[in-house]
Amino acid sequence: MSILVYIEQADGAIKKTSLEAISFAKALADKEGGDVTAVALGSIDQGELAKTGSAGAAKVLHVNDEKLNAGVIQAHAAAVAQAFEKVGAKTLVLAKSSLGDAVAARLAIKLNAGLVSNVTDLPDTGSGYKVKRSIYTGKAFAETELSTDNKILAVKKNAIDLKTDGADAAVENFEVSLDESVFAAKITSTDQATGDILLPEADIVVSGGRGMKGPENWNLIEDLAKELGAATGCSKPVSDIGWRPHHEHVGQTGVKVAPTLYVAVGISGAIQHLAGVNSSKYIVVINKDPEAPFFKAADYGIVGDAFEVLPKLTEAVKALK
């Protein structure tokens, strides 16, 4: 029995979160038996699709229709539903994301499937089908039991280690029948965040707060981020006063991130900020106030002046490289 994985792309490249979803599906297939088939929508190079095999996909169904590039939710849900039926799948796996959440909700109705989002571990099938998921912005976990024949699992970022040792996947063109009504919604414009590495997809994030004292000092944040290959973020007060653009605001009311490494510089650690970063694997805090609340959530902390610590830390990273 196949497990189907819905994969997302950005400018023709498979998103890392979707590769993680494939690795999750592969681990699930190894546990329950079967193989992993991915479905990709829109204009993507076949060589890029074949690379999904390294994450665990045996085959990729490619719906090569440029009308699907825009990510119209209704059209994606209709195409994935047809792929689900073609492979005879009982389980659909995808990455939890803004697009993935919307597509999964529609597919739950189309496929008469039970849906669990924010999945953090493989299902426990010893007695029923129980799925562990993250709740309360990562502060707790819940166990959800699915009783439907068809199941949809939306996997939280960094929930499972990315597999990288698989062979190339076979790529098969897949024709779908899409009524024009599924394209009734039109995306008229898209405002994209700028930067070499986008915040929602970043594996490392370096964020600054009001402790940086002004936008003229942000080069210290950017220098460290460049050496680490990281995205840059900021606290809400920093974006509110215009030091940094709002798309860099990390927190409960901004961008929620789950990188492998989150570095917070000059950020006190208000609960709203912590709610947006507490899914990070490792948190490093740099602050001259030893009583800053953020230290309680940190895996590693440096008590010191950011203007002294950051240049030394950047030089140390350079030396290691």
Binding positions are 210, 266-273, 287
Cα–Cα dist 110/150, whole Å: 11
Strand partners, 7: 40
Distances (CA, A) of 51 to 60, 162, 241, 302: 10, 13, 43, 40
The pair of three-digit structure tokens given for residue 207, joined into one six-digit string = 């964020």
Terminal alpha carbon distance of the chain: 45
Contact between 8 and 145 (Cβ < 8 Å) = no
CA distances to 195, 197, 204, 235, 287 from 226, in Å? 11, 10, 11, 19, 21
- For residue 306, give the nearest of 205, 238, 221 by alpha carbon: 221
Residue 108: in which H helix or E strand, if any?
helix 98-110
Residue 81 sits at the vertex; the CA angle it makes with 32 and 124, to the nearest 5 degrees, is 25
Rounded CA-CA distance 174/123 in Å is 30
Binding site feature residues for FAD: 210, 266-273, 287
